[in-house]
Amino acid sequence: MANIQQIAQKAGVSVATVSRVLNNATSVTPQTRHKVEIAIKELKYEPSMLGRNLRNSESRLLLVLLPSISNPFYNEIINGIQNTAIAKNYNILLCETDSKPERENIYFNMVKNKLADGVISMDPTVNMQKLNELAENHPVILCSEYEEGGSIPYITVDSELAAYQAVKHLIKLGNERIALINSDEKFLYARLRRAGYERALKEFNLPIRDEWIYHTKDLEFEHGVQAMRMLLQSEEKPTAVFAVSDTLAIGALKAINGGGDTPNPIAVVGFDNISFSSMTNPTLTTISQPMFKMGSLAADMLMNSIKGDRVESIVLDHELIIRESTMG
């Protein structure tokens, strides 16, 4: 692979001139430019990002940290990030941590080592202490999951309010025994959604029973199935369920359908409005987050932060999407 020296030699100019042509910066004669361009074509030259980045201390690469791409929730967010980043000549790299700290470290190092200019973390399992350390010297944005009272800018929705509205919807439909399928409450969103759930129940003087609150290990379908099976075995069966993720809700639907006999069907509300949620039978009532917009704004925030601007956190609006799973 040719380097800038060889181009300079071939074109009979200095490396500085070649660099000028590449960055179409200051004055270069059309003739000289032409000579250089010819040389570049003939030698199929491609400038080395390593040399360039080393000198410039920038890579125009953004890291996007996520625990696992298997949750479709991230799809649209990523699209939003990518669209906005590309428009400003940045590129993104998706980094799946699989919730493993070692992997996290590797990606953090990429930033410290100038291989990437900043990070958008969507990983609720991220080691917050390390991320905060990183954020002291490098641009970091939190997307969706965030740290209450922390110093890293974030973009998210109001999980407590959304959960409250979801549960209120179930109450308005006449349900009095409402279960919660939650994930691990070490995650902020899980605590907030539980708080919203409890607020709605309290407001209507409905019982909050531990028996009706199930915590799953992660957000895979199977855990939704398991959770629902457990709930169906409680002494007083719940008549409705709020799950903190569509994936869990879909698992719950499966368990309900699979039960065979459905004397009085159980209403289900999910969270995220993943594309699959309109493919289930029944289709799933859920909370929709403006995912594309969230990603897009997160990218803007990060690029502004890289520029050196101060950025403010943002809370976006959500929406309750009513579908068949709460229509009896």
Partner DNA sequence: AATCAACATGTAATCGATTACATTTAGTGA
Partner DNA sequence: TCACTAAATGTAATCGATTACATGTTGATT
Residues engaged in binding its own copies (CB under 8 A): 1, 46-51, 53-54, 68-70, 72, 74-75, 78-79, 82, 86, 91, 93-96, 98, 102-103, 106-107, 109-110, 112-115, 137, 220-221, 225, 250-251, 254, 257, 275-276, 278-281
The residue among 3 and 165 lying less far from its own copies, judged by its C-beta, is: 3
Q: Which does 313 bind (CB under 5 to 8 A by kind): DNA, its own copies, none?
A: none
Nearest to 119 by CA among 127, 110, 5: 110
The residue among 86 and 208 lying less far from its own copies, judged by its C-beta, is: 86
Q: Which does 43 bind (CB under 5 to 8 A by kind): DNA, its own copies, none?
A: none
Q: Which does 14 bind (CB under 5 to 8 A by kind): DNA, its own copies, none?
A: DNA
Least gap, CB of 79 to its own copies (angstroms): 8
* Residues contacting 28, CB < 8 A, separation 6+: 17, 20, 21, 36
Q: Is 144 left (phi over 0), alpha (psi -120 to 50) or beta?
A: left
Q: Which does 206 bind (CB under 5 to 8 A by kind): its own copies, DNA, none?
A: none
Q: Which does 32 bind (CB under 5 to 8 A by kind): DNA, its own copies, none?
A: DNA
The residue among 85 and 166 lying less far from its own copies, judged by its C-beta, is: 85
Residue numbers at the binding site for DNA (CB under 7 A): 1, 3-5, 12-20, 22-23, 25-29, 31-32, 45-48, 50-52, 54-57
Under a CB-based contact definition with an 8 Å cutoff, are residues 147 and 211 in contact? Answer: no
Q: Name residue 236's beta-bridge partners.
A: none
Least gap, CB of 70 to its own copies (angstroms): 4
The residue among 206 and 230 lying less far from its own copies, judged by its C-beta, is: 230
Least gap, CB of 154 to DNA (angstroms): 30
Q: Which does 19 bind (CB under 5 to 8 A by kind): its own copies, DNA, none?
A: DNA
Looking at residue 308, the DSSP 8-state letter turns out to be T
Cα Rg of the chain (Å, integer): 26
The residue among 234 and 257 lying less far from its own copies, judged by its C-beta, is: 257
Nearest to 274 by CA among 52, 34, 73, 127: 73
Under a CB-based contact definition with an 8 Å cutoff, are residues 35 and 13 in contact? Answer: yes
Q: Walk across the sheet containing 240-243 and list its strands.
A: 213-215, 178-182, 240-243, 267-272, 285-288, 319-321
Nearest to 300 by CA among 93, 87, 126, 114: 87
Least gap, CB of 15 to DNA (angstroms): 4
Nearest to 68 by CA among 92, 108, 98: 98
